[in-house]
Homo-oligomer: A and B are copies of this chain.
Amino acid sequence: MEYPSKLIERAVEEISRLPGIGKKTALRLALHLLKEPVSASEALGQSIVELRKQIKYCKKCMNIADSDVCGICASHRREESTICVVEDTRDVLAIENTSQYNGLYHVLGGVISPIEGVGPDELNIEQLIERIKSSNGTVAEIIFALSPTMEGDTTAFYLTKQLKDFNIKISTIARGIPIGGELEYADEITLGRSIASRTAYNQE
């Protein structure tokens, strides 16, 4: 497509590099910005550049943070004995929203994926091992909260091998039929696993 201006062509080019945004959407967004005041574009542009340049990562859990240690790791109310291993910040946010977990996190920054060229060295696995070593036995349980995909399972398997020398309980979040999900629409693997790992019926 031949754009009427180099400026708009460049903006469309850059915006459409973002995942899930094609050229048509990028053009729609660029034209939207042109209708808004200059301050709106400046605020957007600056927030993007400053985010990337000034972002810090918690030196304990490797989550995004404003200071050297994030709010969760700095809190005295969290149980230090449990570390929940997740892929990225979004998983931390999702679990925090449930209000069901009071331990700490460790953000891997991705999962092992040979297809996308992500090996164990690209992830914050070394930091997890160091963290457990330097905790002097405080850490009693590691919970894997990884996606039930090939990559998630591979990562969990790799981590289990790395953690085998520590005297730590390793668990994974429960797989099964989602609450509100209808049994007949569940896939075979999920349904099969939910029967195999059935739990005691709570009569309360």
A interface list, Cβ under 8 A from B? 1-8, 10-11, 13-15, 17-21, 25, 27-36, 38, 40-56, 58, 63-66, 70-72, 88-90, 92-93, 96-97, 109
Measured CA separation A92–B29 after assembly (Å): 17
Q: What residue in chain B is nearest A25 (Cβ atoms)?
A: B20
- The answer, among B13, B29, B92, for a CB contact under 8 Å with A18, is B29
Would you mind naming 9 contact pairs between A and B with Cβ atoms under 8 Å apart? A4-B89, A4-B92, A10-B50, A18-B33, A18-B44, A33-B52, A36-B52, A41-B52, A42-B49
> Sorted from nearest, which 4 A-B pairs have the closest CB atoms?
A41-B52, A45-B45, A45-B49, A11-B51
Measured CA separation A50–B41 after assembly (Å): 9
A2 proximity list for chain B (CB < 8 A): 93, 96
